[in-house]
Structure 1
């Protein structure tokens, strides 16, 4: 199986391209439910990239509902719902692409936050807290993975699998947004801002206040867009 993996061009968005290779193997049946992915070290050598890039690719596959990770054990292919959305788009994100992404993402994420505040379980709060901790400790590249996980957990906390699928389908674009914003701002500054926004969102969900959670997510979306020089338009 590892023989089918190929090194990735440096001009491509690395985590997304690696995730796409594994996704094709899963979709074509070369990787089946229960199969274990190679170790991070093995994938890093096979693809010719850093382990951080591999972690981001694994996070994307997890967000798309294709794999699960078991701490200290590895990543495994899981059974996926019959209906599963995956965008096969190899274009690098530009200003128009980011705007299109936010036009879709904003209503989905705001509604997900409100539903998560209403329907979350204790395990979701625990997972949100773990992701927040990882973002605080891993202010560098690993913090990007924690950021993606935070939004995936909110989607899962809605109790509605469509949110998980739709947001998972654009997870590689969301990842590119995070990377782009970090390239425009000093890392310590952006980590502090993003952690504050995520903490406000977590607290609103914990309080089971859907109105406050929606407002917190809206503020986070506005901030995320502004950090890549986009101005969101609201009509309500």
Structure 2
């Protein structure tokens, strides 16, 4: 198994995850085999450890690896792996739109449940992701990593682990959409609008008002779709 530097024009976590996934599905990494450390992968691929961590989170959400506290990440047995959607499949616009449509009910419901059930730690994780999104790295790939972390933190705040599993999987597959949206708009405008939408979602969750949180998330998802010229159905 060899790792080469990832081109900066690509969405880094998704591309790194795809590279490792190919090594797994094509047999270059065997079930039970331990992945290289975050430090090794970051150095070999020429990226930050946070990007590697995001890629491993994607692989975990897809069931290709399992992580063990303090030990590392290991390739799972094939029979333990859930359904898999290849990134190339989403090159078809209708398939991409259909997957994005699936975000609508799941993300909206997650926001409402997060408003009801979040803990102080949950809100702190949401705030950490929002801080990263709003900081100096918001114009870079690290800002995209933080965007995904925000949505994972909201899913975790529902108190229902299945939201984390399904939304984590979908968000990672949709991740290239963020790059696409940035590519067709004035970057300063789209980033600031996106951050503002996330702030509204965060504040609604913090207020423990599920209706407000659901509406804030609905507006964000539909706004994200419009920036990709996608028409979604939402009621």
How far apart, CA to CA, are the structure 2 residues paired with 1:116 and 1:136?
A: 21
Distance 2:75 2:151 in 1: 21
Aligned to 1:48: none
Deviations, residues 69-127 of structure 1 (Å, cap 9, x unaligned): x9xxx9942899x9764524141534223211122111111111111111111011111
Structure 2, unpaired ranges of 5+: none
Q: Which moved more, 1:96-105 or 1:149-158?
A: 96-105
Is contact 1:93–1:176 with CA below 8 Å preserved after alignment? no
**How far apart are 1:9 and its partner, in Å?**
8.7
Which secondary structure state, in structure 2, belongs to the residue aligned with residue 208 of structure 1?
coil
Residues 202/14 of structure 1: CA separation in 2 closer, same or farther (3 Å cut): closer
What is the Cα-based RMSD across aligned positions, in Å? 3.2
CA offset at residue 57 of structure 1? 5.2
Secondary structure in 1 matching 2:146 = helix
Matching residue of 2:86? 89
The TM-score normalised by the length of structure 1 is 0.79
Distance in 1 between the 2:107 and 2:13 partners?
A: 23
Partner of 2:56: 61
Partner of 1:108: 106
Aligned-residue offset at 1:12: 8.2
Q: How many residues align?
A: 219
Contact preservation (8 Å) 1:85, 1:166: no
Residue deviations 1:133-168 (CA, integer Å, cap 9, x gap):
111112122100000000000111111111111112
**Residue 123 of structure 2 corresponds to which residue in structure 1?**
125
Higher helix share: 2
CA distance in 2, matches of 1:189, 1:27: 45
- If the length of structure 2 is used for normalisation, what is the TM-score? 0.79
Structure 1 residue 77 corresponds to structure 2 residue 73: yes
Which residue is 1:31 aligned to? Answer: 34
SS at match of 1:159: coil
Which residue does the alignment assign to 1:139?
138
| 1:188–1:12 Cα change, 3 Å | closer
